[in-house]
Structures are given as structure tokens and as C-alpha cells.
Structure 1
């Protein structure tokens, strides 16, 4: 085995899906790219990590709502581009030619080009670790997108796209919630 510097240990665990988080601050929509997220259990409860250094944070904190949008692997350059500019001086929907769609429960828009979306309300914000707990209100998936693969950030500027899917639902049935 080769030792990995402890400062890079997060690259072993980080690869959840890249998320495009949308907000609406009462005047404008914004999008930010997130790579730090987690599912908290089988309920629609999620946690993300962000803080005041991101332009979207104030809207997220003040409105208490957002949309988590999952881009496909074919959107990798869009996701990286969104993450490398600020909504403070950029209309990211316009710059990246993304289509807004009206959400059912929140003012933040859905992104029509994404393969999955979850409308959310903020349930808790922990200041010490900049963790925001979100409760899902509605979820959307699929559509007509040919590329259904998710992208995962490793944390070092490289990404992984989903590949072959292994179905073990029958083997895991006793551990899964009903209906899956």
C-alpha cells in the first residue's frame, strides 16, 4: 500500500454526486455547484456543506429553501464552470444556457437540463461545521435526457462518471424501505 497524505483523505470518501443548488433571493435566481452532500436516512433528508463565503448562502439562509439539481455526466463542463464564477456578478442561467422550470413548493427554479431535482426547505444550519440540513418537499427525475449518468467529484479536480449499475435489490430486500 502507498500512504496517502491525511490532508487528502477526503478524496477517498467525497465522491457523492455533483449537485447544482439553485436559490432565489427575492430578486434573482442563482446556481452554485456542490460536491459535499449526504443522505441522512431513507427519508428525504439531506445535508450539504456551504457557508457565507458562497454568494448563494445568504439566499439559502434567508429564504430557507433551494433546489438540489443533479447534472448528467455530459454537463461536467457546465457544472465546473458554474462552480468557478460568482452569482454576485453573473447570471449563470444565461451564461451556461440553462432553462429554468417552475418548482412546485419553492421559489428557487428547477434546471430543465438536469436528470434529477429535489425541492427542499432548510431544516437546520449548524454554524460550527457549515452543515445545512434540508428536508425534501418534491422530487423530479429523468425526462428525455439521453445521458442519465451522474458525475462525482473526487476533490482534487478530477471526476468520475457512473458506469455499470449492479442490481442487488432482491438480496437487500430486508434492509430496504417498502416500495423500492
Structure 2
């Protein structure tokens, strides 16, 4: 748990440094969370609820399709289940890492940096797809590739529509919480 925490915190620090380094001089890193990058700002809370609902529906549908095509498989990580069943501090640290640190660092890197950079040289839709593929590949999980791609697309579209990483972070965080809860209950 400690090594995972250190890796996640390192990834977060790297992501923040990357944003700070690449942000235009007149913009601060905090602006990525304030909705200042969208040409048409929208209410991010309403958008977040809508995109989260769509994400959960899409993940459910892709799970059904995968079960039909490939057959059912154990989707739960036994190591993660062991950490969650230990209770106490390890469970709390695990929830914090999966629901705060990991989504925050991944949204900074894949949406705040990569998606924003790609969208300067291609259409937003294409940038969302490319950044989502890279997000999926980075997770090194062949079984979950398509679901992670869907997560990347939904969080990318939420970021595009709201102009704030707060929306994509919230969706990602709640998705991870749902995965942890399901793993813990299995």
C-alpha cells in the first residue's frame, strides 16, 4: 500500500508539474479546474451528473457484450480485494488512492495535458479518441481496455463540454468508487 501511495503521489506531482510547465504564461494550473478553458462554459455539476449516468450505462452495456462474446470472467483484482478486506488503515488509504489521487493525476495528465495538447493540432473529437486510447493502454489491462476507453471518452467529453477538470475528475472518482465498492462486495 505504501509503495502504491508513493507511486500515485509521484504521478500527481509529475502531472501538476507538466501542467504548470505547458500552461500558457497567462494561465495558472488552477484554471484547469475553474472552467476557464471552454469557449462556452456550462454548469459543470449538471453536466457531470449526465455524463456519469451515461458512463455507468455504457460500462454496464459493454460488460454485457463482453460476457456474451468472450464469456464471463472474474473482473475483480484479487490483490485489491485482499487490501480492501484487511480493513482499517489499508482500506482507507486504498479508497483515498483510487478515488482521489489516481483520478486527479490521471485527469491532469490525460485530459488537462494530453487532450488539450492534441486538440491544438486536431479536432476535439479525434483528440478525445486518441487520448482515450492512450489512457486505456496506460492501464495495461487487456480485459478492461474497452471499458477504460469508454471512461476516457466520457471524461474527455465532459472536460470538453464544461472546460473544467472538476467535471472529469468527479466522474472518474465516482466511477473508481463504484468499482471499489463492487470489488469489496464481491
Q: Same fold (TM over 0.5)?
A: no
Bigger helix share: 2
Class of the TM-score when normalised by the shorter of the 2 chains: under 0.3
Return the structure number with greater relative CO, CA threshold 8 A, min gap 6: 2
Bigger strand share: 1
Question: What's the TM-score, normalizing by structure 1?
Answer: 0.26
